Amino acid sequence: MSDTSRTNFIRQIIDADLASGKHRQVHTRFPPEPNGYLHIGHAKSIVLNFGIAADYGGRCNLRFDDTNPHKENVEFVASIKADVRWLGYDWDERLYFASDYFEQLYGFAVELIQQGLAYVCDLSAEETRARRGTLTEPGQDSPYRNRSVDENLELFRRMRAGEFPDGARTLRAKIDMAAPNINLRDPVLYRIRHGVIHHQTGSEWCLYPTYDYTHPISDALEGITHSLCTLEFEDHRPLYDWCVNHVSVPCKPRQIEFSRLNLEYTVMSKRLLTQLVEEGIVDGWDDPRMPTIAGLRRRGFTPGAIREFCERIGVTKADNLVEMGMLESTIRDDLDHNAPRAMAVLRPLKVVLTNLPADAPTAITAQNHPKREDMGARELPFAAEVYIDRQDFAEDPPKGFKRLVPGGEVRLRNAYVIRCDEVVKDAAGAVAELRCSVDAETLGRKPEGRKVKGVIHWVSAAHGVPATVRLYDRLFSVPQPGAGDSDFRADLSPASLTTLTDCVVEPSLADAIPGTRFQLEREGYFVVDPQAAPGALVLNRTVTLRDTWGKQQQGGGT
């Protein structure tokens, strides 16, 4: 039995199958097509398939459905394996490719021909579509539907031998051209593909099985008990069952469909994601704005946060649109507890402390996490010149501004209360520097007789480390890009990436290794870019400290 606190309709089916003795062990599979990088929707399937197998003491295979070599390559195979492992799952020795079964699949096709359940068709793809019929009208039989078994066997053998050009012939199942389910109207099982070097089989084959034929038989050959698919395959289930019921496979898996993950402010179609990459709209499949697992990893998401998100959204039969805020909330919860704190000034403005006492400490002790003593503390160099963020000063402050103003006071985080005495401007009239006085009695103590509301972060000017900071945000500006068949590219957000090149971070970050995550105080959660060159610190923003998008949607601004 599974954990009842995490039950869903799939687990209820499995529980019933085990209780009835239909199965003794649960065996699932995750079957990606290696024609792109995995995205957050695939993560839902990974967590579901591997998670169910683990919870029931069963097994889960990783199988590549590699039946379309025109769009597949080894880069995608490698990335998929890396993503599954990064999420915390392992397939042990159970790594398979559908191409492992090409010879067996061919043999099963011969079985169908011998039973009179498959035939070689000479119609072109356009002619086949024209004869398929509609939802209200039956299709028309192919003029080649009644070829003899011997003729079909010979033609199929010659198709494999490479005697016919692409598109000249297909092998089709002989089911029912009047079937209400169009997928059963003599679907194509094999097509000819010349000149393709398959990433596993090389040039051995010029005859490739279709996904709808390959998938159910691969499941059956591997002993899969529960074949979990997204809802778009529900109409294909009768064909799935037809295939396993009419050839001599060792078992008959059950296909069960669940709703796919649709996430706001992004696209989940591999075709559209490929377009983003190929048109250079994003910086590759692992661009931190992409919903790919590789992109989320580079942006600083943790495997645990993604797994938790997949558990939170649940498994249902109903299509729905998940709020992006839910994914962002999950990573905030994770990093709020696990990420050490640090300080960085993204838009530096120099502050000269004109009266810093000669005996002032040269370093300030700061806790690495306000709620976790186990993370320890660090020493922050402190001197008479520091940088603060330009946004923390205003000559003409708006109402409610609680930071530094001319003549006003603010506390430097973990350090002194300072007062702005003079504003120094450059020749163009822009603020170039602030001259401030220190209240020497306020290090670790509240000022006497007054209340200072604002606390701002800072970095020592002499000790700060230069850094490039990338402020990533949602790739699209609307929840459903391309709605109404519009061009989804018109909904791209111009604010999805802001790159700041003159940032200064505290020296403890100088040697931070790629992939290290921090909360930059008052700025958000960040990760050291895994692709940053040695000695050139680059930080990617994972998520803001608070849900500013939610405030905008409620009319609250930022």
Q: Is 260 a catalytic residue?
A: yes
Q: Bridge-partner residues for 61, per DSSP?
A: 29
Tally of CB atoms within 10 A around 338: 15
Cα separation, 548 vs 329, whole angstroms? 12
Coil, helix or strand at residue 365: strand
The residue type at 479: P
Measured in Å, how far apart are the chain's first and last C-alpha atoms?
47
Angstrom distances, CA of residue 121 to CA of 125, 151, 163, 191: 10, 11, 15, 10
Q: Is 499 exposed, middle or buried (0-12, 13-18, 19+ CB in 10 A)?
A: exposed
Active-site choice (174, 270, 298, 332): 270
Q: Bridge-partner residues for 379, per DSSP?
A: 365
Cα separation, 178 vs 171, whole angstroms? 19
Q: Are strands 341-342 and 517-520 parallel, antiparallel or unpaired?
A: parallel
Tally of CB atoms within 10 A around 405: 17
Active-site choice (11, 29, 33, 332): 33
Q: Is 127 a catalytic residue?
A: no
Rg, the chain, Cα only: 31
Cα separation, 173 vs 153, whole angstroms? 13
Q: What is the DSSP letter of 469?
A: E
Reported as half-sphere exposure (CB side, CA atoms, 13 A), residue 92 has a value of 9
Beta strands in 26-145 (DSSP E): 27-30, 59-64, 95-97, 118-121
Reported as half-sphere exposure (CB side, CA atoms, 13 A), residue 174 has a value of 22
- Tokens at residue 262, please? 């649709």
Active-site choice (252, 260, 413, 474): 260
Q: Is 33 a catalytic residue?
A: yes
Helices (H), 162-292: 211-221, 237-245, 270-278
Element housing 228 (H / E): strand 226-230
Tally of CB atoms within 10 A around 115: 12
Query: Any idea which residue has 């999805």 for tokens?
Result: 496
Coil, helix or strand at residue 129: helix
Q: Bridge-partner residues for 59, per DSSP?
A: 27
Task: Find out whether 288 and 470 touch, Cβ atoms under 8 Å.
Answer: yes
Sign of CA dihedral 441, 445, 446, 448: negative
Catalytic positions are 33, 260, 270
